């Protein structure tokens, strides 16, 4: 009897195992089906082009003599190419100035909006966010007009004080002209991210801080900012990656200031110029990958220096 029962128990166990296996298999298939559409698009539109571009970057194409395999020759050339290096140097300098500026503006705005509750908060939030909603191209064209010596308001404003307006398209000032455009465009977006993070903080913490005698400044500096540090880190990394790949604004303003903004002004513009202007897809691909390397190195260094003790890496 006991034997029988044991046997049947073993059998049911086996049965359930089989059933479970079937369920697991079905779950697997279902899982792949759900991931499938994304996976296919991911492979076809990201991984495959990347692989192909990398493959291209190992070849050299000449107008005379055609294509030849040079292995990493294009990369050696890129990192000794003064145009590429000056472009990289430009975007690094640009990041060092523009990113802190954007983040500070965004942080101050977010803290103010978080601290003050009035009818204007919602309106100001929208207004500050608005530049991000304007397409980059249109934003750049608009600033092109604002900077214009004959259409822009600058000459009128400076004229009031009897001064000549600065020419933001000149070689000396184009840097600041672009910093201004980028800050205008992105601060609002970063502000929203920080604002959302601030809204997520438990108000009980503020109350506790107030009971301990903390003022508004102390709450902002000692409670709010440390608590939104992850969000700050996130937008810093985003903006670093974005700024190192700087392309849209200078490419558009090039139509207004071709002498100041050369085709190799930023590495991304240089890659575009090589591939589509000079029929050199191979070197263009190499420039793109070299830039990718630079971005990776910069982000790695950044994360390395901002890491929390014993947290990651």
Partner 1 sequence: MLAAAGVLAACAPDVGGGSSTAGGNTASAGAAGGNNASNCTNTIPKKDLPVVTFWGWYPNMQLVVDNFNKQNNEVQVCWTNVGQGGDEYDKFQTAISAGTGAPDVIMIEADRIPTFQIQNALVDIKKYGYDAVKDNYSAGAWKDVTIRDGIYGVPVDGGPMAMIYRKDIFEKYKITPPKTWAEYERAAQKVKDAGGPLFGDLGANVPAVMMALQIQKGAHPFTYDPAKPETIGIKLNDQASKDVLEYWGRLAKKGLVGTQDQFTPEYIAGVVNGKYATYISAAWAPGYLTGAGVGKGEDTGTWAVAPLPQWDPDNPVQVNWGGSAFSVTSQAKNPELAAKVAYGLYADDESLTDGWTNQIIFPLNLKALNSSDFVNAKVAFFDGQQANKEVYVPAANAYQGMTYAPFGQYYYDAMTKQISAMIEGSVTGSQAADRLQEDVVNYAKEQGFTVQ
Stretch that binds partner 1, among 96-104, 180-188, 270-278, 291-299 (CB under 8 A): 270-278
For position 211 contacting partner 1 by CB under 8 A, the verdict is no
Q: By CB under 8 A, name the one of 263, 292, 302, 303 that touches partner 1.
A: 263
Among residue numbers 57 through 76, which ones bind partner 1 (CB under 8 A)? 62-65
User: How many residues does this entry show for the chain?
Assistant: 313
Q: Which residue in 86, 121, 124, 148 binds partner 1 (CB under 8 A)?
A: 148
Rounded distance between C-alpha atoms, residue 202 and residue 181, angstroms: 35
Nearer to partner 1, 3 or 63 (CB): 63
Among 31, 159, 277, 293, binds partner 1 (CB under 8 A): 277
Q: Which long-range contacts (CB under 8 A, 24 or more apart) does 304-312 make?
A: 306/233, 306/236
Judged by CB under 8 A, does residue 153 bind partner 1? Answer: no
State the Cα–Cα distance between residues 57 and 282, nearest whole angstrom.
5
Window of 29-37, 106-114, 116-124, 271-279 that interacts with partner 1 by CB under 8 A: 271-279
Give yes or no for residue 82 binding partner 1 (CB under 8 A): no
- Long-range pairs, 92-97, Cβ under 8 A, ≥24: 92/244, 92/298, 93/175, 94/175, 94/178, 94/179, 94/243, 94/246, 95/239, 95/240, 95/243, 95/244, 95/298, 97/175, 97/179
Binding site for partner 1 (CB under 8 A): 62-65, 137, 140-141, 144-145, 148-151, 171, 251-252, 254-260, 262-263, 272-273, 276-279, 281
């Amino acid at each position: 009897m006991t034997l029988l029962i044991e046997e049947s128990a073993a059998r049911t166990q086996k049965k359930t195992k089989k059933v479970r296996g079937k369920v697991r298999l079905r779950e697997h298939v279902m899982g792949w089906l759900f991931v499938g559409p994304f996976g296919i698009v991911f492979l076809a539109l990201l991984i495959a082009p990347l692989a192909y571009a990398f493959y291209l970057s190992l070849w050299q194409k000449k107008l005379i003599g055609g294509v030849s395999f040079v292995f990493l020759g294009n990369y050696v050339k890129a990192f000794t190419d003064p145009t590429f290096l000056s472009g990289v140097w430009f975007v690094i300098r640009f990041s060092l100035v523009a990113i802190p500026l954007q983040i500070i503006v965004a942080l101050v705005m977010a803290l103010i909006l978080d601290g003050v509750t009035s009818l204007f908060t919602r309106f100001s939030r929208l207004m500050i966010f608005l530049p991000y909603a304007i397409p980059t191209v249109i934003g750049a064209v608009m600033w092109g007009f604002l900077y214009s010596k004959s259409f822009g308001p600058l000459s009128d404003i400076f004229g009031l004080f009897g001064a000549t307006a600065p020419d933001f398209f000149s070689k000396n000032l184009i840097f600041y002209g672009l910093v201004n455009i980028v800050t205008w465009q992105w601060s609002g977006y970063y502000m929203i991210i920080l604002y959302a993070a601030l809204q997520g903080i438990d108000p009980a913490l503020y109350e506790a801080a107030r009971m301990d005698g903390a003022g508004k400044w102390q709450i902002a500096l000692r409670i709010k900012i440390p608590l939104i540090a992850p969000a700050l880190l996130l937008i810093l990394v985003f903006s670093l990656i974005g700024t190192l790949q700087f392309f849209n604004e200078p490419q558009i303003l090039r139509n207004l200031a071709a002498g100041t903004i050369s085709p190799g002004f930023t590495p991304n513009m240089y890659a575009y110029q090589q591939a589509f202007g000079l029929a050199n897809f191979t070197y263009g691909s190499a420039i793109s990958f070299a830039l990718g390397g630079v971005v990776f190195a910069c982000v790695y260094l950044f994360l390395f220096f901002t890491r929390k003790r014993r947290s990651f890496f």
